[in-house]
Amino acid sequence: MSKSRRSERMVVITRLLSQKPHTLFSLNFFSRMFNVAKSTISEDLNIMRETCEKWGIGELTTVPGAAGGVKFIPRLSREETEELVDFLQQELSREERILPGGYLYMADLIYNPQIVGKAGRLLATIFQDKKPDYIVTVETKGIPLALMTATAFNVPLVIIRANNKVTEGSAVSINYVSGSTKRIQSMSLARRALPPDSKVIIIDDFMKAGGTARGMQDLLQEFRAETLAIGVMVATAEPKDKLVSNYISILDLVSVDTDKKEVKIVPGKWYSQ
């Protein structure tokens, strides 16, 4: 293959690193791929590192030594973060979203690839010091956000089911009390879904009292998993004392007034830090 131009290599490397974040690529790999000297690749990666930093795209980490190389860690820039939080705050405040019982209709937002894509990168940015082996969620509405968080970390997603399914083999089930409705519910996870002693981050769309998240933590303990953190799109401000403590919410829902048709929603505590 003929030698490639730098601008061409930049396109291909950017695309590859974007699609495989947190993955180590050696200089040799790129050198063979493009048929150019390692020193040339090294210059390419320096430009890329500066560009990623300058534009807030993410971080290009260099791992030195013979087994070394570079890996790309995607980030949501401060500008994109503000844009996302403003957008969600405005959207979720719209009175048309208020449903009977004081619920908010969120499906169009939490199922939108662009929005959950950014929200997933945001959670991965907030939890950037954590090194999860898995992202865990419970069916159904948290799945898109959890998958996008797993994509940003480039780790597998594990989905806890509300009931045990024949297509998943032997499973561990627990009963838990939903913190808000006080009803007893069950959730179940296939034995083979999670190796023992895994480190996980729990992701969900919504948290009220935290009963579901607590149930997930209890179920995960049956797998000797360590929960590094919990991240949700929206948590309600009340009750203030949740059944779990180590959670981050992108937004906090302060109140829904079904009579006045008013929603008060604010960025989570992480935002001002």
Nearer to a copy of itself, 75 or 242 (CB): 75
Residues found near a copy of itself in the complex (CB under 8 A): 5-8, 10-12, 14-15, 18-20, 44, 47-48, 50-52, 54-55, 57, 99-101, 103-108, 111-114, 116-117, 139-141, 143-144, 147-148, 150-151, 154-159, 161, 166-169, 190, 192-193, 206
Nearer to a copy of itself, 7 or 272 (CB): 7
* CA dist 89 → 92, 109, 134, 147, 194 (Å): 5, 11, 29, 22, 35
Nearer to a copy of itself, 65 or 101 (CB): 101
Nearer to a copy of itself, 105 or 269 (CB): 105
Question: What is the smallest separation between the CB atom of 34 and a copy of itself, expressed in angstroms?
Answer: 10
Question: What is the smallest separation between the CB atom of 17 and a copy of itself, expressed in angstroms?
Answer: 9
What is the DSSP secondary structure assignment for residue 191, as one 8-state letter? G
Other CB atoms within a 10 A radius of the CB of residue 171 amount to 18
Q: Which two tokens stand for residue 187?
A: 């959730």
Residue 193, amino acid: A
Nearer to a copy of itself, 189 or 229 (CB): 189
Question: What is the smallest separation between the CB atom of 258 and a copy of itself, expressed in angstroms?
Answer: 13
Q: Which two tokens stand for residue 258?
A: 């079904």
Rounded distance, CA 194 to CA 41, Å?
A: 38
Rounded distance, CA 109 to CA 104, Å?
A: 11
- Using alpha carbons only, give the angle 251, 255, 257 rounded to the nearest 5 degrees: 140
Question: What is the smallest separation between the CB atom of 55 and a copy of itself, expressed in angstroms?
Answer: 5
Question: What is the smallest separation between the CB atom of 50 and a copy of itself, expressed in angstroms?
Answer: 8
